[in-house]
Structure 1
Amino acid sequence: MSFPARLDSIVSRYLAEVAGPRERLALLRWQIAEGHALDRRETMPGHVTTSAFVLSRDHARILLIDHVVIGRWLQPGGHYEPAASFHESALREAVEETGVANPVLHPWHRGGDLPFAIDSQDVPGNPRRSEPPHIHHDLQYLFLADPALPLTAQEEEVHAAAWKPIAELAGIAPAAFARLQSLNACS
């Protein structure tokens, strides 16, 4: 299946099965309908990124990066790179940026590629790359890993990688944090 068809399918499923009542993803859906090359970082006003919420098995901690360009702590992620599934793109970013060992896809995904959250975020321009301000349509996936294993930050893109209390996610990705809290309440 082509990238546009896979993306359209995953966004439609997400809206039907996961999204909250205020999640409409209007810009992303419009760009899909218009045939924008959302797998290319030069596509404006936005393009696809993937990211990973890497959790400790008890969901008490989350792996975060201190992002060089953005200058704050975030979940690992980046521009979509071709992969058999979107979650594999997110996983690759997490491993590259943090060196996290043996992360596995969270059981919530039931082995599939349905995102845990989709967040269309404003991104400041990057003059170094001649990029204007734009939107990242971020497909977000849950993974589990052992926080006792060592990390190795990818110094070109991150100042540091560290396990933080899960509450840190509330200020980074409030919708995903609320969804994760609901998931934990059901467990």
Structure 2
Amino acid sequence: MTISFQSRLETAVTRYRAEVASRREHLSLLRWQMAAGHALDKRDTFPGHVTTSAIVLSPDHAQVLLIDHVVIGRWLQPGGHYEAAEAFNLSAAREATEETGVSGLALHPWHRGDDLPFVIDSHDVPGKPSRGEPDHIHHDLQYLFLADPAVPLVAQLEEVHAAAWKPVAELAGIAPLVAARLASIAVR
């Protein structure tokens, strides 16, 4: 039996708030949109919709795989609009593989093989006037992965200028909640 996107999202958000989130992570807009029945799996749902991203670490947690994003114009973790998958982490892994060519991705042991997000980050993104898309919100479900930084990368040049392994400290300016939460995880 296939579980609907809405049911999986409800489970992920409820568990995240109960098991992972700090007391100040309310996810108010996301929860309001869920309660209102918005089609959060569709990129034309506004004011926001779901995206997934991958925080890809080297096994020693010293490096993180980043992309130089064409539209945003800065280095970020790989990710994108949610595309149907059996689990949200599989959508994030697909984005990382497509954008960087990374191979051998493994879901980080922190997840215990589960689909619980490491971070849910709702943030503003610029619209695309060419698509009639206004400025909006991405409700980004972020997952940790491990990969070997010695394996060659192949950037998807339609969406990214480059893909590269960078010092993990760069996450502080890109994804501060991820950086803070990573500091509490022992290398496994």
Q: Normalising to structure 1: TM-score of the pair? A: 0.98
Equivalent residue, structure 1, for 2:148: 146
- Deviation of 1:126 after TM superposition, in Å, equals 1.2
Aligned length: 186
Q: Aligned equivalents of 2:90 and 2:184: distance in 1?
A: 25
- Post-superposition Cα deviations, 1:32-60, rounded to whole Å, max 9, x if no partner, equal 00000000000000000000000000000
Equivalent residue, structure 1, for 2:65: 63
- Deviation of 1:28 after TM superposition, in Å, equals 0.2
Q: Aligned equivalents of 1:95 and 1:166: distance in 2?
A: 19
Q: Which runs of 4+ in 1 moved over 6 A?
A: none
In the alignment, structure 1 residue 121 sits paired with structure 2 residue 143 = no
Q: Structure 2 unaligned segments of length 5 or more: list them.
A: none
Q: Structure 1 unaligned segments of length 5 or more: list them.
A: none
Aligned residue identity for 1:53? I
Q: How does 1:129-144 map to 2 (within 5 A)?
A: 129-144=131-146
- Deviation of 1:97 after TM superposition, in Å, equals 0.1
In the alignment, structure 1 residue 14 sits paired with structure 2 residue 21 = no
SS of 1:32's equivalent? Answer: helix
- Deviation of 1:82 after TM superposition, in Å, equals 0.2
Q: Aligned equivalents of 2:109 and 2:91: distance in 1?
A: 18
In the alignment, structure 1 residue 24 sits paired with structure 2 residue 11 = no
Aligned residue identity for 1:57? P
Equivalent residue, structure 2, for 1:101: 103
Q: Normalising to structure 2: TM-score of the pair? A: 0.97
Aligned residue identity for 1:36? H
Q: Aligned equivalents of 1:120 and 1:60: distance in 2?
A: 26
How high is the sequence identity, in percent, across the aligned residues?
Answer: 73
Q: Aligned equivalents of 1:165 and 1:65: distance in 2?
A: 13
Task: From 78, 83, 94, give the equivalent of 1:81.
Answer: 83
Root-mean-square deviation (CA, aligned residues, Å) is: 0.9
- Post-superposition Cα deviations, 1:114-165, rounded to whole Å, max 9, x if no partner, equal 0000000100111122210000000000000000010000000000000000
